Amino acid sequence: MNQPEPPPAGVEVAPGVRIIPSALHFSFSRSGGPGGQNVNKVNSKAELRLRPELLLGISSTTLERLKFQQARHMLLSGEMQIVCDEERSQERNRQRALERLREMLVKAQTQPKIRRKTKPTRGSKEDRIKAKKVRSAIKQQRSAKFE
């Protein structure tokens, strides 16, 4: 008898990418963003830290691409840091940080197109030469000597 597979461990942070909840480290502090007097009283700024190596379902090339693309979010300890303080509420900033992580992962998952060198077409070469000849003729006329 076929038994259903157990659900994969962790929380899905991007399509096909999961992470164990204990690997997401949130810390909260006072924000400089919007909130009026609330800014001085409530810890609404969310800071998410995680180790990219703990992401499940991500290939090594995608992981390297993520580290390269998001180098400014990488700390010397190897952790990735995402800070969000745009919203007034701590929970919305927490959700926003997770959304940013998702956007970063989706961007890293897309394979960059390989650039292939192309040769200029015959028509474009002819156009270039024709334009040069026209320009040359204009300059020749300017320097015409009168006798």
Residue 146's pLDDT is what?
Answer: 62
CATH number of 11-109: 3.30.160.20
- Where exactly are the structural domains of the chain? 11-109
Nearest to 79 by CA among 62, 46, 111, 55: 55
Nearest to 67 by CA among 45, 89, 51: 51
The predicted-structure confidence for 6-57, as pLDDT tens digits, reads as follows 455 677 888 888 888 888 888 888 777 566 666 677 788 888 899 988 888 8
d(CA 5, CA 77): 36
d(CA 114, CA 108): 15
Interior angle at CA 71, CA 66 and CA 77, nearest 5: 100
